[in-house]
Amino acid sequence: MNDSGRIPVCGMISRYNDTSLPEGPDTLPRLMRAILTRRLLVQGFIVTDHGARLSTFLSDMSDWLKSGKIRYREDITEGLENAVPAFPRFASRREYRQVSHPSITGAVDRSISD
């Protein structure tokens, strides 16, 4: 982390139902020291914090996509069993650093028919 860096914090869904601390060493003191000595700004945010801006965003984004100012690319990997082998493809692309969630329809279809 660079000095005076900013760290956005979001996505704690995997911890919502925790009733105790995770096992293992307590790394909080080391983390707090790094925040202090590097003068880091750590700020939490929730997507609903920006709900009032949603309609403007949707309108602007729609215009940008139609005009070609913003382009998107999809790379779909079918089946949860193929998710892990697909990750190196994403990591190797400098211009495309987005990890997509794998489709689980194949796995669901198989479990229903079994």
Confidence of residue 6 (pLDDT cuts 50, 70, 90): very high
Q: What does residue 92 show for φ and ψ, rounded to 5 degrees?
A: -85, -5
- The CATH code of the domain at 1-72 is 3.40.50.720
- List pLDDT tens digits, range 60-110: 999 999 999 988 777 788 888 888 888 787 766 654 444 444 444 444 333
- List pLDDT tens digits, range 10-31: 888 888 888 998 889 999 999 9
Question: Does 5 score more than 50 pLDDT?
Answer: yes
Tell me what pLDDT residue 108 has: 39
Find all residues with CB under 8 Å of 88, minimum gap 6, and list them: none
Tell me what pLDDT residue 94 has: 55
Nearest Cα to 34, choosing from 56, 2, 11, 60? 2
- Neighbouring CB atoms inside 10 A of 52's CB total 8
Tell me what pLDDT residue 101 has: 45
List the domain boundaries for the chain. Answer: 1-72, 74-114
Give the position of tokens 């700020």.
43
Tell me what pLDDT residue 93 has: 63
